[in-house]
A and B are shown apart, each in its own frame.
Chain A
């Protein structure tokens, strides 16, 4: 499998501010790669470097094994981009903006095919292409950018929080278009902080924080890094047995249920012991991305809990 995006030790400084601090990122051809991080982690800076809109201060970024700064125009023939905060030309209609961007990308060479794709997308996203750019709401501006991106096929889709402002129905339409692009063999870099979207769509995930990658892998691999949560009905008198369970952490007994977490690779070993206790109403939940996320962004879980309590 070839590598589409390859970033090593990437640095970007704005004066004394460090936006990227030795970032690594690998995205293989044909994969949908989730790019996760809180606001200010450096996601958009990374994307701007990949698009040749900004130059790295250090390290290396390669796109299709070429230099994204020097070969920007050439590389962009293969790329479609959706920004997170879409600005449109106030006096151009949405339809005009879509056509302009598609023409610039060379996606209108096959006129009939382009028209059909545009028509299908405009209907699917329920967009009125006759409105002027200044008249669109945030969600509708986002739709214009999405239709422009999907209306002309690309090898790589770079999407920077593409669903911000979309309603759940439109998110479904977006998910379908991503699936369609992936089925055609396209690669997708999906920057997001909507975890359910990443869980639903992505093959692999990279989590970045303060300009560095803190985690990368398939969702299954990442889940091994954290604990599953276990809960069952509390029967008085079992407390000592529960405390003695090997691998159980953070045991909480209360409001009729027992809850604890366990290292994901120890869940199987724990089940026979629970069986011996005869527990009822047992649930074992794999760690969600949210927990992964919190683990990396909440510096100190105790502090997070404290913040929640006072909020």
Chain B
């Protein structure tokens, strides 16, 4: 068979394997685009209000880290400002995961060997991955363009937006394939890829923030760092404004260079080998790794650090952006009203703003705790809980260790948020008050997060097979009803089901801790009940 004929079954296998995963990524990204374009009309009011929001970015360029470069206040331009960088971030993650999944992960698992032993050989599967990835990006580009056009936006601008997202995806496909050549494990390759995607997002955010604003404050020329990032290149197409496809030559050129390099590496190296040698571990264990809690800590550490970094950023933003809040009240009444609904009727706008950010911190802390419990479940299904429970470790202690690590994770995440908030407050007019407000807000989230830890432990003991699904579903529901319930006009009792709506809030300088003590009691009871019940539960190893 000719190589082209061999390529067909390889690509077909990739499409078949990814049929659900890729559909979710693409539909999710398009849905995000649709939500943003719809929000332009409903949340951000008329052109005058959009203009005032864009001018706010002059005061707080940090906002640009989370949005994009403004290119005018028209509906299309504003939608691009809101969402394009996010869409590129999604495309980047979708593509690097795709690249690693079909190359390094297959090699690591030994599946690549089966295929390499057929006439397809070692190199053709990588070519199939390139074809598969490019096809996926074409579909992604069409879906994003369709989402923009469906909101009634101009066709040319929608098409440029879609093309920009797709080209960014192809660039990251190339980068992901290179990462897969470098490391021996898919985990390392994925870690580097995700760092590249997030790095590209942050670098262009810095470039945008450092850029020079136009005289009317409605558009901005990005500084040089944005030119280092594929996401920056996508923004330079200026959809709906300039509609310039030339910057995407950089994205496609980068992809071509990466893919060329990958084929050079791939033809030169052994199957299963990598350019960088795998890192050796320690020959013996450190002091910390001496008991079930130490093990739980070691296994959860990576996840806790990621959540904590997110919380530190959220904390820093809460206090950095506070000075802006007064202006929002004057310039953008719709947004001010939204914030006030989250904060409650008596809160000042600044307080409402801080509360909004710290509700997110609370969600992050709860997520970190849930991951500790989910790790326990993964240990149980993966078969690594069994050797531990075959030693003199009682079942209750074993689970208690994960509970302890979950509680500690909450403290670490909230602590990082508080530190971030303190750093952000240094620049404000009244650092002391700002810092105290932030610290109280961080502490106030602990009881709600602990309730989630308790619930997750209970689910783990009573319905082990559903642990992961139920834990995330509870958190998503609580976050949604608690933070957005009032905005959506849901009845109070639905809103009150969420632990986050009972977090003690600093309102008018006073904090009512009653809800917090109630939740602490509930959390304590749930944790104690779960740990006690674990003494009566068998190991449930089947998924």
Contacts and interface: CB of A to CB of B under 8 A. Distances in A.
Contacts of B281: 92-96, 130-132
A282 to B, nearest CB: 50
A134 B383 contact: no
A25 to B, nearest CB: 18
Given A53-B386, A54-B538, A87-B383, A96 B395 contact: no
- Which residue among B108, B291, B389 has the maximum number of chain A CB atoms within 10 Å of its CB? B389
B299 A89 contact: yes
Nearest to A74: B392
Contacts of A100: 285, 289-290, 295
A94 to B, nearest CB: 8
B383 A85 contact: yes
Contacts of B388: 101, 104
Interface string B366-400: 00000000000000001110111111111101000
Contact of B285 (A72, A81, A83, A99): A99
Nearest to A14: B542
Given A54-B539, A89-B299, A145-B387, A77 B283 contact: no
Contact of A96 (B278, B289, B383): B289
Nearest to B391: A104
Given A83-B387, A105-B392, A130 B285 contact: no
B282 A101 contact: no
Contact of A53 (B108, B291, B538): B538
Contacts of A88: 384
Which of the four size classes fits the interface of chain A?
A: 35 or more
B185 interface: yes
A99 B278 contact: no
Nearest to A48: B539
A220 B290 CA distance: 46
Nearest to A78: B392
A96 B389 contact: no
B104 to A, nearest CB: 12
A87 B382 contact: yes
Interface string A73-86: 11011010101011
Given A96-B289, A100-B289, A104-B291, A76 B392 contact: yes
A73 B285 contact: no
Nearest to A132: B281
Contacts of B392: 73-74, 76-77, 104-106
A55 interface: yes
A292 B45 CA distance: 85
A135 interface: yes
B391 A93 contact: no
Contacts of B387: 81, 83, 86, 101, 145, 148
B283 A76 contact: no
Which of the four size classes fits the interface of chain B?
A: 35 or more
A98 B283 CA distance: 10
B2 interface: no
A70 to B, nearest CB: 9
A310 B395 CA distance: 50
B269 interface: no
Contacts of A104: 290-292, 388, 391-393
B99 to A, nearest CB: 20
Interface in A119-134: 129-132, 134
Contacts of B42: none
- Which residue among B108, B295, B384, B392 has the maximum number of chain A CB atoms within 10 Å of its CB? B392
Interface string B277-308: 01111111110011110010011000000000
Contacts of A106: 392
Nearest to A90: B187
B359 to A, nearest CB: 33
Given A83-B386, A87-B383, A145-B387, A73 B282 contact: no
B282 A93 contact: yes
A95 B283 contact: yes
B394 A72 contact: yes
A103 B285 contact: yes
A88 B384 CA distance: 6
A61 interface: no
Nearest to A87: B383
B393 to A, nearest CB: 6
B284 to A, nearest CB: 5
A148 B279 CA distance: 23
Contacts of A101: 387-388, 391
Given A74-B392, A106-B392, A95 B284 contact: yes
A91 B389 CA distance: 20
Interface string B472-488: 00000000000000000
A87 to B, nearest CB: 3
Q: Which 3 A-B pairs have the closest CB atoms?
A: A93-B281, A87-B383, A99-B285
9 contacts: A51-B390, A72-B394, A72-B395, A89-B299, A97-B285, A99-B284, A100-B295, A104-B393, A106-B392
Interface of A: 48, 51-55, 72-74, 76-77, 79, 81, 83, 85-101, 103-106, 118, 129-132, 134-135, 145, 148, 158
Interface of B: 108, 184-185, 187, 278-286, 289-292, 295, 298-299, 382-384, 386-395, 397, 538-539
Given A51-B386, A99-B285, 13 more contacts: A48-B539, A54-B538, A72-B394, A76-B392, A76-B393, A83-B387, A92-B281, A92-B298, A99-B289, A104-B290, A105-B392, A130-B282, A132-B185
